[in-house]
């Protein structure tokens, strides 16, 4: 069976990554629209779902874990600009990769970043709804864009540390590879 040309492999990975960006973005924005405009979480918050999980309405004016709170237009758009620059860099990486797992990982991160950037532009802050807690220990409140970013980073870490253990990037055993460059 002839080897798949690199451009076809790259195109396949890019199409998959772009599809993941679109899916992550649509799911994130649809869930936010539903919580904000149909379910009206702001009026109902908090809503106990289980003894350890609530739906709540939290506007995050900062970045992850509420760090670097920005309550000015300059700060808000500076965070949007950072997300755009990071998304462009990750998109360049996605365009260059031949690896489908990396393309999916990057697609999740890009889709999540764009979803949260849209919130900042439209609402001035990121809408977060999901709150896990155990007793008095409370995890941060998050949204589906955050889930996509964490899943994408987790997959990249898996790829970096575990996926190719004992193999080089072409799937060949790394034993006896001391002489290769």
Cα gap 26→77, rounded to integer Å: 22
Peptide bond into 46 cis (omega under 30): yes
Strand ranges of the sheet holding 137-142, from the earlier edge strand across to the other edge? 47-50, 53-60, 126-134, 137-142
| Catalytic residue numbers, as ranges | 128, 146
- DSSP letters along 55-115, please? EEEEEE-SSGGG-S---SHHHHHHHHHHHHHHHHHHHHHHHH---HHHHHHHHHHHHHHHH
């Amino acid at each position: 069976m002839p080897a798949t040309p690199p451009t076809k492999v790259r195109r396949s990975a890019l199409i998959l990554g772009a599809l993941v960006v679109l899916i992550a973005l649509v799911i994130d924005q649809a869930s936010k629209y539903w919580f904000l405009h149909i379910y009206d979480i702001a009026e109902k918050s908090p809503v106990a779902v289980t003894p350890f999980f609530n739906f709540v309405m939290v506007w995050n004016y900062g970045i992850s874990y509420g760090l670097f709170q920005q309550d000015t237009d300059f700060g808000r758009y500076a965070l949007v600009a950072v997300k755009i620059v990071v998304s462009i860099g990750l998109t360049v990486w996605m365009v260059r990769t031949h690896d489908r797992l990396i393309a999916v990982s990057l697609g999740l991160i890009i889709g999540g970043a764009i979803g949260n950037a849209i919130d900042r532009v439209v609402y001035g802050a990121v809408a977060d709804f999901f709150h896990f807690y155990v007793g008095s220990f409370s995890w941060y409140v998050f949204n589906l864009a955050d889930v996509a970013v964490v899943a994408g980073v987790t997959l990249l870490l898996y790829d970096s540390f575990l996926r190719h253990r004992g193999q080089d990037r072409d799937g060949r055993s790394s034993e006896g590879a001391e002489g290769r460059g």
